[in-house]
Amino acid sequence: AAKRLSELEIIHPGFEDMFNEFKLNLIELNTNHKYNTGEKATQDFFDLLRIIYRKQILKEDLDREFNRDALYFAYVVTKSY
């Protein structure tokens, strides 16, 4: 998979100097890998998406308090509750 925008070959020849390159961060939600984002709301959002994708709540998630914005954003993105 592409890791940079330039690898997607969406830039027309001659426009390379006008293009701002940045790295793409791909998140694989269907694995048990824990991403350390350094911010609770972002971590909660990824964990919620993993729960929704898995369609299963683990025992350690039952008593967990998720960030309210992360809950709302996960609902908006997935239309699940």
Q: What is the mean pLDDT of the chain?
A: 76
- Stretch 35-62: mean pLDDT, rounded? 81
Tokens of 47: 């964990």
Tell me the HSE value of 65 on the side-chain side, using a 13 A CA sphere.
Answer: 0
- Stretch 27-54: mean pLDDT, rounded? 78
Higher pLDDT, 36 or 72: 72
pTM for this model (two decimals): 0.57
DSSP at 62:
H
* pLDDT given at position 23: 64
